[in-house]
Amino acid sequence: MPTSAASFVLWSVDSLEKVAREAEPANGADRIVIESCRSEFTSAQVAVRASRPLPDLRASISPLKHEEIGATGIEVQARFVGYVPVTKNTPDTPEEELTCTAPCQVPDLLLTDETLCLEANSTQPIWLTFFIPPDAPPGRWRGAVEITAAGDAVQLPLQLTVHPITPPATRHLSVTNWMDMGNFASHYATETYTPRFWQVVESFARNMGAHRQNVILCPNELVHIYQEDDGALAFDYSDYDRWLQIFADAGCADLIEGGHLGRRGLGKWETPWFEWRQFRVRRRDGAEVKPDPEAVIRALVPSLITHVKERGWFDRFLLHVVDEPAPHTEEDYKKKARLVRELAPGVPLLEAMSLMDARGLLDIWVPQLSHFDEHRDNYLSMRDQAGIELWFYTCMYPTGRYPNRFLDFSLLKTRILHWINWRYRLTGYLHWGLNFWTDDPFHQDRIRDDLPPGDCWIVYPGPDGPLDSLRWEQMREGIQDFELLWLLDHIAKEAGRGTDAADKICAGLLPDPVTYTRDFRALRAARRAAIEALLALQT
């Protein structure tokens, strides 16, 4: 039962649930019970329902202690959950697949305020984030969450079970979220390449590394291009190198994506051809010039490849030709891709795409999730026959019954994306929008009316770096789920105990990308089954 004080009621909520402002503690729990493996982040959630105005709501957590040996050392962070507006629901989606009907306020933003004002007859969720060190003693750890407001104080006991399982340090899933570099400057009132700009970039890089992002896109704008007096082009890679080193130091550069060399022409999606990007080129006196774009490409690409070889990055470097080649653009894409292959021999090409057959053209295929699902047998057959690498991506699509990370979708739909990675051995995930913010991302939910709410960003601009979101936190836990399944599969094979334990658990939760469970308790049970199978193998 919930725990009560004179001015508020407190209860525990699963961190896969979104807590609405009007939520009541009907079936709330009077304690927090969670579990985790070592080297993982895990989350919990409590909710406070005010019976009168609370001007000074505060949350704190007592240090967790191992119940047998008294050990400490598990990091815990408590943050208030902020609400953002959804003005229009995700299109083409049944009502039962949504968490609210627009216009509505959706819990997503994680605030860093120490206190918060809560109106009477209103509910405030509080998000708890735990990091379990790799050397944490297994067993039960105990602590308590204390909520104080209006002179009242209430505690909820907390029990964390740490399992003697440590997922591998090596990442087996490639994850990339593309960034708007200009927003790092504009939202922090500075110019690109200033000390303030680099300070913000470093903060975002650390956060992305902590959220298991391990593929970094290097925008072409980082390369400064000059035209000499004789017409030759010269390239300055100092900011390119600084950007890449920052993300490498944060653990985000297992793979490196060179920026897209082309773009869609006038008419956008309907146009059957692409054009080379018009890069900014200046003379040494600062005056801008506009050489032929293809001439710039022919000089830039070989220079860039020589540079990444000199820096020791060549073996993890990838290139994009142009985003989202489709059947109606295939012929033009082939021409441009062949040129890039000539200019950058040995460099894999990676694209978000909907081409039906890209064998001999692309090395890493990244179909959109619903396109992959519609042509699943074809994709998997070509993958297995040709030895290509297969990822998937989500963006403004898919909607409907597919999982995605939109604001008005459940948190389970965000987390289960990476169970799809395991289900079909799709070794990477791509999304276009880490931080494509509006001028006011706290009160606007998209940059264009035709985009679903939340599609454009998954973190928010804080005072000196990113503010996390519930979706960002659950995405990380979904990536951890993938690594747990990988570990189960790996150890089972090494022990000669069968090769399908992880697959059976995953298939039971996720028969296919549309008929997956909608019950967060089923996901918890599937994860627990994987842990129990690992523990059995260890003994």
Task: Decide if pLDDT at 524 tops 70.
Answer: yes
Q: How many Cα atoms sit within 13 Å of 33 on the Cβ side?
A: 5
pLDDT band for position 2 (cuts 50, 70, 90):
confident
Other CB atoms within a 10 A radius of the CB of residue 539 amount to: 5
Average pLDDT of 222-226?
98
Domain chopping of the chain, boundaries: 3-163, 174-467
pLDDT digits 0-9 by tens, 64-105: 999 999 999 999 999 999 999 999 999 999 999 999 999 999
pTM of the model: 0.97
pLDDT at 499: 73
d(CA 367, CA 352): 6
Same fold, 3-163 and 174-467: no
Average pLDDT of 4-23?
95
pLDDT digits 0-9 by tens, 301-345: 999 999 999 999 999 999 999 999 999 999 999 999 999 999 999
User: Is 2.60.40.10 the CATH classification of the domain at 3-163?
Assistant: yes
pLDDT band for position 531 (cuts 50, 70, 90):
very high
pLDDT band for position 43 (cuts 50, 70, 90):
very high
pLDDT band for position 266 (cuts 50, 70, 90):
low
First to last CA, the chain: 37
User: Is 3.20.20 the CATH classification of the domain at 174-467?
Assistant: yes
CB 36 within 8 A of CB 162: yes
d(CA 113, CA 110): 9
pLDDT band for position 475 (cuts 50, 70, 90):
very high
d(CA 488, CA 539): 14
CB 105 within 8 A of CB 84: yes
Collapsed DSSP state (helix, strand, coil) of residue 380: helix
d(CA 28, CA 225): 60
d(CA 138, CA 105): 40
Task: Decide if pLDDT at 462 tops 90.
Answer: yes
pLDDT at 27: 77
pLDDT at 1: 61
Collapsed DSSP state (helix, strand, coil) of residue 437: coil
pLDDT at 267: 62
Other CB atoms within a 10 A radius of the CB of residue 300 amount to: 21
pLDDT at 221: 96
Nearest to residue 396, comparing CAs of 445, 459, 451? 451
Number of helices (H) and strands (E) in the chain: give both, helices first. 12, 29
Average pLDDT of 505-523?
98
Ramachandran category for residue 305: left, alpha or beta (phi over 0 → left; psi -120 to 50 → alpha): alpha
CB 531 within 8 A of CB 37: yes
Of 130-144, 408-422, 496-510, which gets the smallest average pLDDT? 496-510
Higher pLDDT: 226 or 168? It is 226
Longest distance between any two alpha carbons in the chain, whole Å: 81
Task: Decide if pLDDT at 522 tops 90.
Answer: yes
Average pLDDT of 156-171?
96
Average pLDDT of 123-143?
98
Mean pLDDT over each residue of the chain, to the nearest integer: 96
Task: Decide if pLDDT at 279 tops 80.
Answer: yes
- For residue 363, what are the contacts with CB-CB under 8 A and spacing of at least 6? 318, 348, 349, 350, 388, 389
pLDDT band for position 366 (cuts 50, 70, 90):
very high
Nearest to residue 98, comparing CAs of 41, 197, 10, 18? 18
Task: Decide if pLDDT at 441 tops 90.
Answer: yes
d(CA 32, CA 18): 16
Other CB atoms within a 10 A radius of the CB of residue 15 amount to: 25
pLDDT at 160: 98
**Residue 366, both tokens:** 């990244």
Average pLDDT of 180-209?
98
Average pLDDT of 180-185?
97
Average pLDDT of 7-22?
97
Average pLDDT of 128-153?
97
**Residue 396, both tokens:** 């403004």
d(CA 290, CA 277): 11
